[in-house]
Every structure is written in structure tokens, then in C-alpha cells.
Amino acid sequence: MKVKPFVEYQKDKILKFSIVKNLEIVGEASYKLTNEFRKNNPEIEWDDIILMRHILVHGYYRIKDEIVWATIETDLLPLRSKIIKLIKK
């Protein structure tokens, strides 16, 4: 998959919306997990994921492209790996 540069991401409203929406979904799914499950699986940054979801949904006027982009670039692949390990437990 070819990754677009940050400047293209900033200009592409459809791409930005779809990424934000998918991050919201990840946050909502995390939020729906029980507190006990989240507590028993501290290797995942549940609070950060849920906080980001709240900002994306309720504080959309505060969304910073740089933070969303940094999340894509640095956090998603490690999160995916952690989730896969968790599923395999």
C-alpha cells in the first residue's frame, strides 16, 4: 500500500474524514470493553485510545492534523501487533 505524504493528507478531505472515522471506531470499540478487561490487558494504551476518540467525536474543532498523522505513522502498527497478540492469548 502506498502511503500519501502528510501534505496530501492535509488537502484530501475524504481521506482525512475516513481516517478520523476509523480512529473513532477503534476508540469506540475500546470504550465498550469492560474496565476489567482493559485493566487485565495494560499493554494496550486504552486510556489514550479512548481519549482520542472523545476528542475526535466531541472536540472535532480541536483535531490537529499533526496529531492524527503522528498516530497513523507511529501508533497504529504497534497497536495492531498488540491486538493480534491479545487475540492469540
Higher pLDDT, 3 or 50: 50
pLDDT tens readout for residues 10-64: 999 999 999 999 999 999 999 999 999 999 999 999 999 999 999 999 998 889 9
> Which residue in 53, 54, 62, 80 is the catalytic one?
53
Whole-prediction pTM value? 0.88
Reply yes or no on whether 53 is catalytic.
yes
pLDDT tens readout for residues 52-63: 999 999 998 889
Residue boundaries of the structural domains of the chain: 6-88
24, 52 in Cβ contact below 8 A? Answer: no
Which residue has 497478540 as its cell numbers?
Answer: 85
12: nearest Cα among 54, 68, 80, 75: 68
Reply yes or no on whether 80 is catalytic.
no
> Which residue in 38, 54, 58, 80 is the catalytic one?
58
| pLDDT higher than threshold 60 for residue 66 | yes
